[in-house]
A and B are shown apart, each in its own frame.
Chain A
Amino acid sequence: MAVFTRTTKNLILKIDEFIDNVDIGLLVFKEGIKAFLDKDMDAFHRHLQKVDLLENSADKLQREIENEMITHSVLPQQRAEVSNLIDELDEIIDSIKSSLNEFDIEMPDIPVSLNNNFISLTETSVSAAEELIPAARAYFKEPYTVREKLLKVYYYESEADKIASNTKKIIFQEMKELDLAHKAHLRYIIHHVEVISDLAQKAADLLSGMAIKILM
């Protein structure tokens, strides 16, 4: 019995810590982009380092969670889905890290007039993922509240899509002074920010199905 309790407590703590890492990663990403747009490269590199640490810790936790679930036969009926959910959340923090790395390596030249568009896109895309966090936590404690919590994820994802499209339109139709390579690079960077909300939506779809199944 003591073995059950210890394993259970450890696993709950690890899942919570993993979700915390993703949550903090999103905050750091937002601040990192703002620092990049403000040309504060010291702050940007600090945020990049922080995201790197969070991603490594999330990877380790993911492996430990999956190992413990298998060896102690925890949640045998939901194990595959919980593992998938953790995978999807890990994809988000992986994408955060790779996006910030792209900014660091490619140093995109973002025109000051687009700063507000980029900040708005980052905030909306991150908000979609942030709204996923309480829903993911709720799956374990109050599964009947998951679906209502996920509504905001879908809302922010569609908003992020709109902002991304508008920004791309401005770049390609209004900013005649930029050459095509520059425009294509900006489009690529926009995609890197926007993808976070897409990943959040993918995880939300999975979580929504999981919530229905557990309530059946």
Chain B
Amino acid sequence: MIILYLTSGLFLGWSLGANDASHIFGSAVGSKMISFRTAAVIASVFFILGAVIQGSGTSNTLSKLGAVNAIGGSFTVALAAAITIYMMTKFSLPISTTQAIVGAIIGWNIFTGNPTHSATLTKIVAAWIAGPVIGAVFAIILYILLKRFKKSAKIHLIKFESYIKTGLLIVGAFGAYSLGANNIANVMGVFIPAFHLQDLNLGIFTLSSTQQILLLGGLAVAAGILTYSWKVMETIGSNIMELSSDAALIVVLAQSLVLFIFSSTGLSDLFVRAGLPPIPMVPVSSSQVIVGCILGIGLYKGARNINFKVLRDIGLAWVVSPVVSGLLTFFLLFFMKNIFNMNVGTKITGAAGNPLLMNDILMQDQSDVSGIIRYILLGLFVFGTIALLLYFLLESKKRKEMQRSEEKFWKNLK
């Protein structure tokens, strides 16, 4: 039963994996620098790591915006966000998972009579605007540095490309980690206040309740990356702008840095210790940040034809996505509560903590989730090992066949 409630979040995760995660390796795969297989495996593994290790920072911010305190409410909020994304994509309207989920949470706040924390909302909106701008600035600075290094180092083009290829893998891994840390809140953030799972001891480390929820979301995202992102990755390079391999590296690095900055509690603490204001832990839209980075490089290169439609789309997404998602959440919550008699959450009273109102049956079910996660992890480990062995076997066979055909060619020519 409890897994059923999670399906809307898992679906949201799948769509995040299929679309947003593609931005990280999109240019590299589109330009054939890295194969889709390699990109998908690296993106999946590092997204999950980022989500589990560092994903709680941005999730806490979303919880502050609105602590959805019933599983039925979390389900409806995630469902409304997912439907909004589906509908707006269908009608080719600009959309961002981040903005859809924030709108849905505000919709829940309005429906349950909870106040929306205005300071948190301001922080989130400021981060949405700052994300693409910082991305553009980072991209310009990093691109200038790379160009200067390339000119002074006089590295052979092929060697330079191989460095770029290695760089793309490392930066891509960092990007996937940062995306996991920053964007997992969009997928699972609304479920965290409503779930209290037992700690899961895996021998080497223990996963807390929050980490288990984030892990499930991470797995859904990984499924989205592995099953559907190839289509987006194949076309993304040419869709936004034709990027050279070094520009692609800079775009991914700049985007990763922005996502990392907005999700690293450690970095924020360092800022505070240095007497600077803390960095807000806010989920930002990866697609909007990447557009900011690409526009930054375009501006530096003196591109005359900057596509202002892209900028207009971003601005439109900031307004339209939360509004549509918020309205849809409000109506869905109304139906869930009055027609299906579902507990979608109540007004939070008292200053200390959130008195979570859980259904008794659901509380019992929650202990089973840890067991399911344990089996999923075991299955993934076995499947991963077999897949890895099979991959190396097939690769070695392919290489031998190629060598044999080449030898045969030269032998026949003689």
Contact = CB atoms under 8 A, between A and B. Distances in A.
A1 B163 CA distance: 10
B156 A140 contact: yes
Nearest to B32: A76
B154 interface: yes
Given A4-B166, A144-B151, A216-B301, A75 B158 contact: yes
Nearest to A67: B406
Contacts of A75: 157-158, 161
Interface in B381-408: 402, 406
Contacts of B166: 1, 4
Interface of A is mostly: helix
A189 interface: no
Nearest to A15: B158
A141 B155 contact: yes
B158 A140 contact: yes
Nearest to B410: A60
B158 A77 contact: no
B245 A77 contact: yes
A141 B162 contact: no
A139 interface: yes
Contact of B158 (A67, A71, A74): A74
A67 B406 CA distance: 9
Given A1-B166, A4-B162, A8-B162, A140 B157 contact: yes
A52 to B, nearest CB: 15
Contact of B161 (A5, A74, A143): A74
A75 B157 CA distance: 8
Contact of A139 (B155, B157, B301): B157
A214 B161 CA distance: 12
A212 interface: no
A12 interface: yes
B201 interface: no
B227 interface: no
A73 interface: yes
B149 to A, nearest CB: 14
Given A1-B166, A4-B166, A141 B154 contact: yes
Interface in B225-281: 244-245
A77 B245 CA distance: 8
B354 interface: no
Nearest to A16: B156
From B33, B35, B301, name the one whose CB has the most chain A CB atoms within 10 angstroms: B33
Contacts of B156: 12, 140-141
Contacts, number: 48
Contacts of A8: 158-159, 162
Contacts of B157: 75, 78, 139-141, 143, 214
Contacts of A15: 158
A66 to B, nearest CB: 12
Contacts of A77: 31, 244-245
From B155, B165, B301, B402, name the one whose CB has the most chain A CB atoms within 10 angstroms: B165
A205 interface: no
Contact of A12 (B154, B158, B244): B158
A39 B283 CA distance: 83
A11 interface: yes
A109 interface: no
A60 B410 CA distance: 9
A38 interface: no
A86 to B, nearest CB: 13
Nearest to A4: B162
Contacts of A7: 162
A73 B162 contact: no
Interface string A1-23: 10011011001100100000000
Contacts of B165: 4
B173 to A, nearest CB: 13
Nearest to A5: B162
A104 interface: no
Given A4-B165, A8-B159, A60-B410, A142 B154 contact: yes
Nearest to B402: A71
B400 to A, nearest CB: 13
Contact of B33 (A76, A139, A214): A76
Please list the 10 inter-chain residue pairs (A to B) with the smallest Cβ-Cβ separation, ordered nearest first: A76-B32, A140-B157, A8-B162, A4-B162, A141-B154, A140-B156, A76-B31, A12-B156, A8-B159, A75-B161
24 contacts: A1-B166, A4-B162, A4-B166, A7-B162, A8-B158, A8-B159, A12-B156, A67-B406, A73-B32, A74-B158, A74-B161, A74-B162, A75-B157, A75-B161, A76-B32, A76-B33, A77-B31, A78-B157, A139-B157, A140-B156, A140-B158, A141-B155, A142-B154, A144-B151
Interface of B: 31-33, 35, 151, 154-159, 161-162, 165-166, 244-245, 301, 402, 406, 410
Interface of A: 1, 4-5, 7-8, 11-12, 15, 60, 67, 71, 73-78, 139-144, 214, 216
Given A8-B158, A77-B31, 11 more contacts: A11-B158, A12-B156, A73-B35, A75-B157, A77-B244, A139-B157, A140-B157, A140-B158, A141-B154, A214-B157, A216-B244
